[in-house]
Amino acid sequence: MISVIPEGVFTMEDRRKIVKVNAPQYNKAKKKVKSQILRELSETLQKHPKYIASLLRNTGKTIYTPFGIKLIGDPTVTNIHKRGRKKVYGQELVPLLLRLWELVGYRSSIHLVAFLRLNKEMIFNEIPTFKHLPAEIKDKLLTISSATVERLLKPIKAKLRLKHKYRTNPFASVFKKNIPVEPYFEKPKSQIGYMELDIVHHCGETTKGEFAYTLTATDITTDWTELRALKNKARIWTKEALEDVYNNVPFLVNTFHVDNDSAFINAHVFNFTEDKGIRYTRSREYKKNDAPYVESKNWTMVRSYTGYRRYDTEEELAILKRLDKLISLRHNYFIPTMKLKKKERVGGKVHKEYDINIPLNRVLNSPEVTAERKRGLIEYKASLSYIAIVKEIESQTKKLGAAYRKKYSITADDEENGEYF
Encode pLDDT of 214-234 as tens digits. 999 999 999 999 999 999 888
d(CA 142, CA 114): 10
Alpha-helical segments (H) within 4-127: 12-28, 31-45, 49-58, 94-103, 109-118, 120-126
Residues 252-280 have a mean pLDDT of 88
Query: Which tens digits make up the pLDDT trace of 187-207?
Result: 887 789 999 999 999 998 888
- pLDDT for the residue 291: 87
Q: Is 107 left (phi over 0), alpha (psi -120 to 50) or beta?
A: beta
Most confident of 48-62, 91-105, 389-403: 389-403
Q: Which one is predicted more confidently, 76 or 322? A: 322
- pLDDT for the residue 41: 87
- pLDDT for the residue 8: 63
Residues 39-57 have a mean pLDDT of 86
Partners of 337 in beta bridges? 357
Query: Which tens digits make up the pLDDT trace of 286-326?
Result: 787 888 889 999 889 999 999 999 999 999 999 999 999 99
Topology adopted by domain 174-416 = Nucleotidyltransferase; domain 5 (3.30.420)
d(CA 334, CA 361): 9
d(CA 250, CA 374): 8
Confidence category of residue 167, pLDDT binned at 50, 70, 90: very low
Residue 203 contacts residue 310 (beta carbons within 8 Å): yes
| Of 1-5, 22-26, 296-300, minimum mean pLDDT range | 1-5
Q: Mean pLDDT for the chain?
A: 85
- One-character DSSP codes across 253-309: --EEEE-S-TTTSSHHHHHHHHHHT-EEEEPPTT-GGGSHHHHTHIIIIIIHHHTT-
What are the residue ranges spanned by the domains of the chain?
A: 12-72, 91-160, 174-416
Residue 21 contacts residue 52 (beta carbons within 8 Å): no
Confidence category of residue 401, pLDDT binned at 50, 70, 90: very high
Q: Note if the pTM is more than 0.75.
A: no
Partners of 125 in beta bridges? none
- pLDDT for the residue 72: 63
